[in-house]
Amino acid sequence: MRFVKDGEHYKCVVTDGILKAKNRIWIATANVKDLHVIGGRRRSLPLLNHFEKLQRDGVSIRILHGAKPSAPFLNTLANLTELHRGDGFEMQVCPRLHSKIVIVDNYMAYTGSANLTGAGVGAKSDKRRNFECGLVTNDPEEIRYLEEYFDNIWMGLYCKECGRRKLCPHPVI
């Protein structure tokens, strides 16, 4: 297990994690914004563009989020016809979600304070990013624990007893 802070999130979680996925990516984040990452030829592209390529390569992607995604995120998603059809790309909202988790291919997991935003994962400059910290692990037992936690929320285990069920646009159960 390794402690990461501030701009280290970008390399550990995005570059060495998400962008290297071969099978699946599970992301839990309170906020979803149009995060831009360095693409080919050092050009910045929305992470959703990378997701579309990963999806074409057979990677399934789940994003569990706590609030409506930003307008720029939704605009980018609307323009990526392969991605938003839902074939291997799923998003689900849970108004109570505030967890931040990234799980990649059962080999890497992150949990900490950073949302999947430019300011959160350190994609912005030193003067514009948030102060964030978290833990990255390759330990299979720790990864399983985070997977189970994520999956319980995703599958609606807590929906029946949820105190915010009336606020939920699509209760799972």
Q: What is the pLDDT of residues 115-128, one digit of tens each?
A: 888 888 877 667 77
Q: Looking at residues 88-100, what average pLDDT do you find? A: 92
Q: Which amino acid is at 78?
A: A
Query: What's CA 75's distance to the chain center, in Å?
Result: 18
Q: What is the pLDDT of residues 140-171, one digit of tens each?
A: 999 999 999 999 999 988 888 887 777 777 66
- Structural domains of the chain ordered from first start: 2-167 (3.30.870.10)
Measured CA to CA, the distance from residue 147 to residue 85 in angstroms comes to 25
pLDDT at 81: 82
Instruction: Count CB-CB contacts under 10 A for residue 16.
Output: 13
Least confident segment among 19-33, 104-118, 152-166: 152-166
pLDDT at 41: 63
Confidence of residue 172 (pLDDT cuts 50, 70, 90): low
Query: What's CA 47's distance to the chain center, in Å?
Result: 10
1-20-147 Cα angle (round to 5): 50
Polymer length of the chain: 173
The mean of the pLDDT values for the chain is: 89
Both tokens assigned to 27: 């992301």
